[in-house]
A and B are shown apart, each in its own frame.
Chain A
Amino acid sequence: MSDSGSYYVPHSSKWPIIATIAVCTALVGGSSLLNGNPSGKYVLFVGLALIVYMMVGWFSTVIAESEEGLYDAQVDTSFRMGMIWFIFSEVMFFAAFFGALFYVRTYSLPWLGGEGSGLATNTFLWPNYEAVWPLDANGPGRIGGEFQVMGAWGLPALNTAILLTSGVTLTWAHHALKDMKRYQLIIGLGLTVALGVIFMYFQALEYGHAFNDLNLNMGSGIYGSTFFMLTGFHGFHVTIGTIMLIVILARCIYGHFNPKNHFAFEAVAWYWHFVDVVWLGLFVFVYWI
Chain B
Amino acid sequence: MSTVVKDTHHDEHPSGIMRWLTTTNHKDIGSLYLWFSLIMFFIGGLMALVIRSELFQPGLQFVDPQFFNSMTTMHALVMIFGVVMPAFTGLANWMIPIMIGGPDMALPRMNNYSFWIMPFAFSMLLSTLFMDGGAPAGGWTLYPPLSLQTGDAFPFLIFAIHFMGLSSIMGAINIVATILNMRAPGMTLMKMPLFVWTWLITAFLLIAVMPVLAGGVTMLLTDKFFGTSFFNAAGGGDPVMFQHIFWFFGHPEVYILILPSFGVVSAIIPTFARKPLFGYSSMVYATASIAFLSFIVWAHHMFTVGMPLAGEVFFMLATMLIAVPTGVKVFNWVTTMWRGAMTFETPMLFAIGFIVMFTIGGFSGLMLAITPADFQYHDTYFVVAHFHYVLVPGSVFAIMAAVYFWLPKWTGNMYPETLGKVHFWLSTFFVNLTFFPMHFVGLAGMPRRIPDYSLQFADYNMIASIGAFGFGFAQLIFVYLIFKTIRGGEKATDEVWEGAEGLEWTLSSPPPYHSFNTPPVIK
Please, which residues of chain A bring their CB within 8 A of the CB of B107? 78-79, 82
Asked if B162 lies at the interface with its beta carbon under 8 angstroms from chain A, I say: yes
Least CB distance, B497 to chain A, in whole angstroms:
27
Do B236 and A221 have beta carbons less than 8 Å apart? Answer: yes
Give the CA-CA distance A108 to B177 in the complex, in Å.
40
Do A78 and B155 have beta carbons less than 8 Å apart? Answer: no
Give the CA-CA distance A103 to B247 in the complex, in Å.
14
Do A9 and B117 have beta carbons less than 8 Å apart? Answer: no
Do A223 and B236 have beta carbons less than 8 Å apart? Answer: yes
Interface stretch of the complex, out of B46-54, B70-78, B98-106:
B98-106
A96-B211 in contact given A104-B238, A221-B235 (Cβ < 8 Å): yes
Q: Which residue in chain B gives the minimum CB-CB distance to A217?
A: B227
Asked if A241 lies at the interface with its beta carbon under 8 angstroms from chain B, I say: no
Least CB distance, B24 to chain A, in whole angstroms:
5
Do B4 and A10 have beta carbons less than 8 Å apart? Answer: yes
Quick one: which of A92-120 are within 8 Å of B by CB? 92-97, 99-100, 103-104, 107-109, 111-112, 116, 118
Do A81 and B227 have beta carbons less than 8 Å apart? Answer: no
Least CB distance, B297 to chain A, in whole angstroms:
16
Asked if A61 lies at the interface with its beta carbon under 8 angstroms from chain B, I say: yes
Quick one: which of A64-102 are within 8 Å of B by CB? 64-65, 68, 70, 74, 77-79, 81-82, 85-86, 88-90, 92-97, 99-100
Please, which residues of chain A bring their CB within 8 A of the CB of B209? 92
Asked if B187 lies at the interface with its beta carbon under 8 angstroms from chain A, I say: yes
A70-B4 in contact given A93-B215, A222-B237, A225-B235 (Cβ < 8 Å): yes
Please, which residues of chain B bring their CB within 8 A of the CB of A188? none
Asked if A14 lies at the interface with its beta carbon under 8 angstroms from chain B, I say: yes
Quick one: which of A175-224 are within 8 Å of B by CB? 217-219, 221-224
Least CB distance, B215 to chain A, in whole angstroms:
3
Do B4 and A65 have beta carbons less than 8 Å apart? Answer: yes
Give the CA-CA distance A223 to B104 in the complex, in Å.
48
Asked if A121 lies at the interface with its beta carbon under 8 angstroms from chain B, I say: yes
Do B234 and A143 have beta carbons less than 8 Å apart? Answer: yes
Give the CA-CA distance A224 to B226 in the complex, in Å.
11
Do A92 and B8 have beta carbons less than 8 Å apart? Answer: no
Asked if B519 lies at the interface with its beta carbon under 8 angstroms from chain A, I say: yes
Q: Which residue in chain A gives the minimum CB-CB distance to B517?
A: A5
Interface stretch of the complex, out of A24-32, A161-169, A252-260:
A24-32
Do B176 and A5 have beta carbons less than 8 Å apart? Answer: no
Give the CA-CA distance A89 to B229 in the complex, in Å.
25
Asked if A16 lies at the interface with its beta carbon under 8 angstroms from chain B, I say: yes
- Total CB contacts across the A-B interface at under 8 A: 260
Do A20 and B23 have beta carbons less than 8 Å apart? Answer: no
Interface stretch of the complex, out of A133-141, A151-159, A243-251, A264-272:
A133-141
Asked if A277 lies at the interface with its beta carbon under 8 angstroms from chain B, I say: no
Give the CA-CA distance A108 to B238 in the complex, in Å.
6
Select B185's contact among A3, A12, A23, beta carbons within 8 Å: A3
A2-B234 in contact given A20-B117, A82-B173, A100-B219 (Cβ < 8 Å): no
A104-B228 in contact given A7-B103, A222-B236 (Cβ < 8 Å): no
Please, which residues of chain B bring their CB within 8 A of the CB of A58? 109
Give the CA-CA distance A144 to B121 in the complex, in Å.
35
Quick one: which of B121-180 are within 8 Å of A by CB? 121, 123-124, 152, 154-156, 159-160, 162-163, 166, 169, 172-174, 176-178, 180
Give the CA-CA distance A16 to B167 in the complex, in Å.
11
Give the CA-CA distance A222 to B518 in the complex, in Å.
58
Asked if A125 lies at the interface with its beta carbon under 8 angstroms from chain B, I say: yes
A81-B13 in contact given A89-B207, A222-B229 (Cβ < 8 Å): no
Q: Which residue in chain A gives the minimum CB-CB distance to B117?
A: A20
Asked if A288 lies at the interface with its beta carbon under 8 angstroms from chain B, I say: no
Select B173's contact among A68, A85, A225, beta carbons within 8 Å: A85
Give the CA-CA distance A8 to B172 in the complex, in Å.
20
Asked if B45 lies at the interface with its beta carbon under 8 angstroms from chain A, I say: no
Do B233 and A112 have beta carbons less than 8 Å apart? Answer: yes
Do B236 and A16 have beta carbons less than 8 Å apart? Answer: no
Least CB distance, B72 to chain A, in whole angstroms:
23
Do A2 and B519 have beta carbons less than 8 Å apart? Answer: yes
Do A85 and B176 have beta carbons less than 8 Å apart? Answer: yes
Least CB distance, B101 to chain A, in whole angstroms:
7
Least CB distance, A102 to chain B, in whole angstroms:
10
Give the CA-CA distance A221 to B21 in the complex, in Å.
46
Please, which residues of chain A bring their CB within 8 A of the CB of B2? 64
Please, which residues of chain A bring their CB within 8 A of the CB of B210? 89
User: Interface digits, B447-488 against A, CB 8 Å rule (1 contact, 0 not)?
Assistant: 000000000000000000000000000000000000000000
Closest 10 A-B residue pairs measured CB to CB? A96-B215, A140-B236, A219-B227, A222-B236, A225-B228, A16-B113, A93-B211, A31-B155, A12-B22, A78-B106
5 A-B pairs whose Cβ atoms sit less than 8 Å apart in the complex: A13-B112, A16-B110, A92-B209, A93-B212, A108-B238
